[in-house]
Chains A and B, each alone.
Chain A
């Protein structure tokens, strides 16, 4: 092994064995989840008893794939991290637990193995969070509004995926754009962030105004998102 290889492997090597095992398990769970989602999407109607007797296997297959990708991103971040900040632990914990639980409602029996692996991994990482309770509290408090905005953006993506067509595409793009704005918040001017929030939230809501849900989400997204980015700007 090269020196470079040693340096790269070090973070894994110094971590407790249980964590290493859980991170590998989470990665395996996410990959299995991805396979479950692809199976549901492609051969779902032929294996209905394995996919929870779902009628709409296309959308739920896509949802399962999205959840698995989120879990995979969290698992890889956990495997690759070289510093374990409370914020990062919290993100990995949410990124494993939420897909791990939601997946049980989208793909039935095929999620049993991936779901159990993801939930168990999140339990392992929750141990770290328990010992950092004060930090967790502070981190949550500091990023609560950003978290709420991200959750609302996820609802936008979810509804966009159910709508399909132009409106659906705008919903998905809008949600992703809001998440990107939050992620790149520190690199954007305050005005750009506000404009990006409005531009991302408005089109889907305007096209589907009659649904009641999307205009409500857009109002919450713009209100809470604005408070979040304004607060972050003030903090800096």
Chain B
């Protein structure tokens, strides 16, 4: 049998890495340099797209923020409703619905917008509704409509929280009216060591109308008083974030995606959280933060910035914090205070961890640590409804998203 040997490999066949061997060192380095540059440019492109997609350069812009600038442009009674929707409300859940008639607006609570374990007795929901009602009444006066408000007009319908009958009158545009779209919760640190003058606090106190004697503001201005309230707020924040149900309910309303903000138009956002511009940009560019990470950031901000720089604390107190009428009156007073501060160069932030924990303790029949603490802060026969801090701003606060007016009108 004739043996055949495998053909020998031709010496002319170049080795696999001939290209590399034939290449000078300089040429090779240049190739690597070009590849590195290309990768860097591709990475920069991805980051640029992420910045666009997350609205890094579009703070306060887009349809979700349009109601702040166009609320007066609607027809008929709609500007009144639009003004109401700009009111502050817990977690920006916007728990309101409006029904319009020729000379009447009815305000309803929207229970589908409950913030769950954060507000087990709908206390904050009614405060927000009261604030919306106050904006509506101020806007009505500005539009030349006198309003007659009936709170909880139908005992059979607990969600029907107010009826506002309107009649023609002379337009009265107060200082509060001008602040409706300028008011924003300011979660940034305030100017440290700059006290709010007593006259300003007295003016805010005087915003409580004579016809609502069941709502008032109690102030905490001295160093020791502030330190005590700060300590309680930080402790309440710690208790809040270690309670999984409250933490989850809170996180559900924290929107980190720009698309989500623009489509849902509610909730708490990075831009409105009082973070520095750099931190806010990083928070948007990086992947969405986990619940634990946002909880930790919230505690740090509360402890190291917000409570440390509060010039004063105020507690809106009522005779009976479980009475919806008094809650609504408290909410109206709180909104007047907020509008007043906005018009006088002051900053205000609602900071409700203590009352949220007190309600949670009650809901779960726990030892009333914060319930007792709040009782200790207030005069006898008064109950805490809502807490806030005020001071002089270091930053202009950003807007929160708002739903379109069509989404809050019912027939």
Which residues on A are within 8 Å of B, measured CB to CB? 55-56, 144-145, 148, 151-152, 155, 158-159, 162-164, 167-168, 208, 210-213, 216-217, 220, 224, 227
* A208 and B57 form a contact (CB under 8 A): yes
Is B406 at the interface (CB under 8 A from chain A)?
A: no
The answer to whether B44 touches A220, judged by C-beta atoms less than 8 angstroms apart, is yes
Interface residues of B in 76-127 (CB under 8 A from A): none
Query: Which chain A residues lie closer than 8 Å to B3 at the CB level?
Result: none
Judge whether A144 and B44 touch: CB under 8 Å: no
Stretch at the interface among B266-274, B278-286, B310-318: B278-286
State which of A55, A148, A211 has its C-beta within 8 Å of the C-beta of B38. Answer: A148
Instruction: Report the bound CA distance from A220 to B43 in whole Å.
Output: 11
| In-complex Cβ contact of A217 among B37, B48, B278 (8 A) | B48
Complex alpha-carbon distance, A224 and B262, angstroms: 37
Smallest Cβ-Cβ distance to A155: which chain B residue? B48
Q: Judge if B203 is at the interface, Cβ distance under 8 Å.
A: no
Interface of B is mostly: helix
Residues of B within 8 A of A (CB): 34, 37-38, 40-41, 44-45, 47-48, 51-52, 56-58, 61-63, 259, 262-263, 276-278, 280-282, 285
Chain B residues, Cβ within 8 Å of A216: 44, 47
The answer to whether B278 touches A210 (Cβ under 8 A) is yes
Query: In chain B, what residue has the closest Cβ to A221?
Result: B44
Contact B277 A151 (CB under 8 A): no
Which residues of A are found within 8 Å of B44, using beta-carbon distances?
Answer: 152, 155, 213, 216-217, 220
Cα A9 to Cα B281 with chains together (Å): 54
Q: Is the interface of A mostly helix, strand, loop or mixed?
A: helix
A159 touches B277 (CB 8 A): no
Q: Write out the residue numbers on chain A whose beta carbons fall within 8 Å of the beta carbon of B263.
A: 55
Cross-interface CB contact of B56 among A144, A148, A213, A217, cutoff 8 Å? A213
Answer whether A212 and B278 are a contact pair too, CB < 8 Å, given A55-B63, A159-B57, A162-B52.
yes
In the complex, chain B residues whose CB is within 8 Å of the CB of A211: 51, 56-57, 277, 281
- Asked if A162 meets B37 with Cβ closer than 8 Å, knowing A155-B48, A210-B278, the reply is no
Residues in B whose Cβ lies below 8 Å from that of A158: 48, 52
Query: A63's closest neighbor in chain B, by CB?
Result: B52
Offer 11 A-B interface pairs, CB within 8 angstroms, sorted by A: A55-B259, A56-B62, A144-B34, A155-B45, A159-B48, A210-B278, A212-B47, A213-B44, A213-B285, A217-B48, A220-B44
**In contact, A168 and B57 (Cβ under 8 angstroms):** yes
**CB pair B57 A145 closer than 8 Å:** no
A213 touches B51 (CB 8 A): yes
Shortest distance from the beta carbon of B28 to any chain A beta carbon, whole Å: 14
Q: A220 and B40 in contact (CB under 8 A), knowing A55-B63, A212-B282, A213-B47?
A: yes
Residue from A151, A164, A212, A220 having most chain B Cβ neighbours under 10 A: A212
Q: State whether B48 touches A213 (Cβ < 8 A).
A: yes
Contact partners of B56 in chain A: CB under 8 A:
211, 213
A57's nearest neighbour on chain B, judged by CB, is: B63
Chain B residues contacting A213 (CB-CB under 8 Å) are: 44, 47-48, 51, 56, 281, 285
> Which has the most chain B C-beta neighbours within 10 Å: A208, A210, A216?
A210
Q: Which residue of A lies closest to B50 (CB)?
A: A213
Q: Is the CB of A55 within 8 A of B62?
A: yes
Cα distance, A168 to B34, chains bound together (Å): 30
| Nearest CB on A from B167, distance (A) | 36
